[in-house]
Chain A
Amino acid sequence: DSGVTQTPKHLITATGQRVTLRCSPRSGDLSVYWYQQSLDQGLQFLIHYYNGEERAKGNILERFSAQQFPDLHSELNLSSLELGDSALYFCASSVGPGRGGDADTQYFGPGTRLTVL
């Protein structure tokens, strides 16, 4: 158990819908990262927040957005869902702001499996 929690574990929805995935980082961690893992793309970095501020964006679609709240939990919002958005969504957390080294070791949650029908 990494200490990172994600809800829900599974989500099944229809095309065109909007969903929200939630992540609670390990106690004391200030950074939250979101990743998408699909069969054809592997693990892809989406976005990074540190202490409420966006730090970096990766291959995140405009239909997707995220935020980190004052209590440091984060939500990933996916809208106008398409079949291709079906994937595992992981969040990870670390203590530091992402500068490398032990303070930025990322610990991953169990993931949310999103199925778009």
Chain B
Amino acid sequence: LAKTTQPISMDSYEGQEVNITCSHNNIATNDYITWYQQFPSQGPRFIIQGYKTKVTNEVASLFIPADRKSSTLSLPRVSLSDTAVYYCLVVHGSGNTGKLIFGQGTTLQVKP
């Protein structure tokens, strides 16, 4: 399973766009990139998943360059309630057992 590397922490201010980049140099052809958000003492919440190029939903965008060795989660106009830990995961497709490997995540602190 591909290992992911992301910043341990980031600070931002309300109303700003936040970009969290994750590197996954050993990503395989069948792997998907998935992001989860977790608030203290709550279960991780699925944010977005992608395979290549750009994916956008109502809460975030995910940018994946052609080589797929990194990905960037973009949160538009963050608010205080976006303060959380964000996990980047590489999920192996095709024969995957389904287990998710969570790293340290990025703790995002949004300030007023």
Contacts and interface: CB of A to CB of B under 8 A. Distances in A.
A115 B35 CA distance: 29
A106 B100 CA distance: 9
Contacts of B45: 2, 108
B71 to A, nearest CB: 15
Interface residues of B, number: 26
Interface SS of chain B: loop
Interface residues of A, number: 33
A99 B99 contact: no
Q: Which of A98, A100, A102, A106 has the most CB of B within 10 A?
A: A100
Contacts of B44: 43, 90, 92, 108
A55 B32 CA distance: 20
Contacts of A90: 43-44
Contacts of B42: 110-111
Nearest to A110: B43
A73 interface: no
B99 A94 contact: no
A42 B43 CA distance: 12
Interface of A: 2, 4, 31, 33, 35, 42-45, 48, 50, 55-56, 58, 88, 90, 92, 94, 97-102, 104-111, 113
